[in-house]
Amino acid sequence: MKYLFAPNTLSESSEVYALKIILDTEEIPCSIRNEYLAIALGELSPQDCIPALWVLNDADYPRACEVMEAWRSSPAETNSQWVCPDCGETIEGQFSSCWKCGKQQKEA
């Protein structure tokens, strides 16, 4: 078993779970350690409570590093705003339907 990744702060721990999902889809067995230690904050230091991702098979470690680097270097997807043709409301790009009238962007 080899250590792969841990975020810098507890507030960034969602990155561990996102990376685990990606490794699972690549069929690279991995495990999250310290997953439930946040309840021990105060008794343990915050740094000791941060979840860490470990690759279970040493032979999978190089591939896991490649997958992690590809994931970390990929640009964030951004969608541009769109205007609902039914009500004229401007909708932020991450939404697929109009908040005002419910029209789907695909229909727009």
What CATH number is given to the structural domain containing 39? 3.30.70
pTM above 0.85, yes or no: no
Domain enclosing residue 101, as ranges: 76-108
Which residue shows structure tokens 């043709």? 85
**Among 10-19, 26-35, 39-48, the least confident range:** 39-48
Whether residues 9 and 59 fall in one domain: yes
**Among 24-33, 34-43, 96-105, the least confident range:** 34-43
Residue-averaged pLDDT of the chain: 89
The secondary structure of residue 69, as a DSSP letter, is H
Q: How many domains does the chain have?
A: 2
As a whole number of angstroms, the distance between CA 97 and CA 65 comes to 37
Measured between alpha carbons, how far is residue 72 from residues 9, 13, 18, 41, 64 in Å?
A: 16, 14, 11, 28, 12
Whether residues 31 and 44 fall in one domain: yes
Whether residues 64 and 31 fall in one domain: yes
- Amino acid letter for position 29: P
The pLDDT score that the predictor gives to residue 15 is 92
Whether residues 58 and 81 fall in one domain: no
Whether residues 49 and 84 fall in one domain: no
Measured between alpha carbons, how far is residue 77 from residues 71, 74, 94 in Å?
A: 12, 9, 9
